[in-house]
């Protein structure tokens, strides 16, 4: 076959096959991106767990009744720093998309006071011709 006019039926089948193949390649790229996005979110949540464990240790140590004013002041500074660290983690992004902003992935989800600024939806990617996979959560649900 030298030109499409030589066999229009085969030409149509070839073009349809190329279109289908291109769609599958896009879905594959979407799934790779979704996996990276989910791994970023998982790493962020693991960091949150570490910060919370540190906060629990500080609370336990401070609750013993043996802490003096200086020790409590130092603990307060550390707690403030850990709070800022939690906000930074809550505003984690991957590929210029905030992981916990819901569908509004371009909006930083939390302000400096911890107020949620994202939306109430989830970020999804198309993984086949009729299906989507949720990869970004609404940080307001977990706030």
- The encoded tokens of residue 56 equal 């629990």
pTM of the model: 0.78
User: How far apart, in Å, are the Cα atoms of 58 and each of 14, 19, 120?
Assistant: 66, 59, 33
**Three-class secondary structure of residue 138 per DSSP:** strand
The tens-digit pLDDT sequence of the chain (143 residues) is 666 666 666 766 777 778 777 878 888 898 998 899 899 999 999 999 999 999 999 999 888 878 888 988 999 999 999 999 999 999 999 889 899 988 888 889 999 999 999 888 888 888 888 888 888 777 777 54
Report the pLDDT value the prediction gives residue 18, as an integer from 0 to 100: 80
What stretches of 63-124 show up as alpha helix (H) in DSSP? 69-90
Report the pLDDT value the prediction gives residue 133, as an integer from 0 to 100: 86
Angle at 59 between CA 56 and CA 65, to 5 degrees: 150
Within the chain, how many helices (H) and strands (E) appear? Answer: 2, 4
What stretches of the chain show up as alpha helix (H) in DSSP? 8-62, 69-90
């Amino acid at each position: 076959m030298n030109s499409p006019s030589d066999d229009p039926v085969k030409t149509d089948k070839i073009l349809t096959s190329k279109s289908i193949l291109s769609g599958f390649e896009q879905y594959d790229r979407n799934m790779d991106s979704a996996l990276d996005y989910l791994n970023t979110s998982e790493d962020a949540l693991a960091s949150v767990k570490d910060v919370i464990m540190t906060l629990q240790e500080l609370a336990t140590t401070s609750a013993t009744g043996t802490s003096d004013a200086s020790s409590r002041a130092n603990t307060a500074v550390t707690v403030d720093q850990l709070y800022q660290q939690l906000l930074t983690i809550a505003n984690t992004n991957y590929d210029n998309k905030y992981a916990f902003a819901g569908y509004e992935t371009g909006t930083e989800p939390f302000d400096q006071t911890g107020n949620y600024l994202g939306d109430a939806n989830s970020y999804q990617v198309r993984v086949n011709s009729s299906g989507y996979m949720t990869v970004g959560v609404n940080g307001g649900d977990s706030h």
